[in-house]
Amino acid sequence: MTDAKPGLVFDTGPLRHFTLQGWLGVVKYLGRDHQVIIPESVEVELRDQSRTDPELRQVLEADWIHVDRSTDLAYLQAFSGYERLLAVGGRNLGECGVLALGKTRGHQIIIDDRVASNIARREKLNCRGTLALLCDAIRQQKLTVAMVSDLADDLLIGEYRLPFAKGKFAQWADENGLI
């Protein structure tokens, strides 16, 4: 892996839902100026979930997504610390890996889990949610409001938790000064 481009580390949730709703290409497009990275823990979650949702193999087979298999002490210590805070019954290990990469590598992390996002903000990690990333892309004229509205509606149909109802993205984003 080359360090020429800044890292953009995704959690399982955004990749899962973008893929299942047919929008993974948007992640590739928005990540073109970055190294798009997932920690090994996200890879494991996606591999497990691909048993019931074979479409998720698209993420696992994408040549533009790098899997970070860090084994250095700093990463392992950070992961372990987040595991104590977040992991419950083998769940949330993806978030632990994303946070650990953000902490030890300084990558920007894309995570929507509220608890993990709060930890990231408390630790002053470079953390963005999916909606913030999409609103950034609208302001940078990489995506249109209409496209993101359709994308958000599809995510909602796929039961992704968003802070607005179907058809209300533009209103929500405008009311919150995001576009």
* Tokens standing for residue 121: 């903000």
Q: How far is it, in rounded angstroms, from Cα 52 to Cα 80?
A: 29
What's the domain range around 138?
131-175
Runs of H (alpha helix) within 31-72: 40-49, 57-61
123 and 139 within one domain: no
The model's pLDDT over 78-117, given as tens digits with 9 standing for 90+, comes to 999 999 999 888 889 999 999 999 999 999 999 999 999 9
pLDDT at 58: 97
44 and 94 within one domain: yes
- Other CB atoms within 10 Å distance of the CB of residue 105: 18
Domain-embedded: residue 1: no
pLDDT at 118: 95
pLDDT at 4: 63
Evaluate whether 140 touches 42 at the Cβ level (below 8 Å).
Answer: no
Domain-embedded: residue 91: yes
Q: Count how many domains the chain has.
A: 2
98 and 48 within one domain: yes
Predicted TM-score (pTM) of the model is 0.92
99 and 23 within one domain: yes
pLDDT at 3: 53
